[in-house]
Amino acid sequence: MNVVEYSHINLEGYTAGAHFCRALHEKGGVIIYMHNNLEFINIDLSEYCKEKDFEACAIKLITTSLNICIITIYRSPTGNFNSFLPNLDKILQLLHTPALHIIICGDINMNYLTENDQKRQVDNLLLMYNLTAIVNFPTRISKTSATSIDNFFTDITRLQDFLVTPFPNDLSNHDVQILTFTILIPNHPNKTKFKRKINKHSIYDYIYDLSNET
């Protein structure tokens, strides 16, 4: 996804909360769309991004029940893993606090259905921030293989009653992953304003009341 492609994307009822667009290569890029009823803050991660190696964007969701940060990441199959891992560590060092609940999602092109060295390195890094993978089913299914290269990473001790489900679709060669959990949205109560109505009748009433005063 480049800047021109991004400018033509419009989802009714949603706002592009954060994004990273490629300038040198085709495809790739990441974006987070937020429902218009949700309040959020954009977190600028552009200084840590490098096309193909580490593409990321993030938002902080404003709720009353959880202090949530959502990070979306893409790593190309041809990207440099030795660049991906340090940059992932840098943004987690930047964002991680005991009060902040981090959810990482995206396509990191590592198969989580098999054991491999890259997966172990990512898992060991994420465990330092108490984050674990929660997708345990295939996300990219072809005639010859079934891999889980898309995932959610979060602190499952702080995310109560969550559910992760696949959603096959015809828009991509990857299935969608849906993470469902409950949060409380800030309630902004209606403010009441009192106004004094001034017209011919109220003026007459005011004069009459004055006439009864000593």
Q: Which domain holds residue 181?
A: 3-186
What's 114's DSSP letter?
Answer: S
Q: Is residue 122 part of a domain?
A: yes
**Measuring CA to CA, which residue among 164, 47, 130 is closest to residue 94?**
47
Q: Is residue 23 part of a domain?
A: yes
Q: Is residue 210 part of a domain?
A: no
- Domains: count for the chain: 1
CATH code: domain of residue 65: 3.60.10.10
Q: Is residue 209 part of a domain?
A: no
pLDDT by 10s per residue, the chain, length 214: 555 565 667 888 999 999 999 988 888 899 999 999 999 999 999 999 999 999 999 999 987 677 899 999 999 999 999 999 999 999 999 999 988 999 999 999 999 999 999 999 999 999 999 999 999 998 988 888 899 999 999 998 887 778 899 888 877 888 889 999 877 665 656 667 777 778 877 887 788 788 888 7
Q: Is residue 142 part of a domain?
A: yes
The 3-state secondary structure of 22-60, one letter per residue: ECCCCCCCEEEEEECCCEEEEECCHHHCECCCEEEEEEE
Phi, psi (5° rounding) for residue 86? -60, -35
Q: Is residue 116 part of a domain?
A: yes
Q: Is residue 78 part of a domain?
A: yes
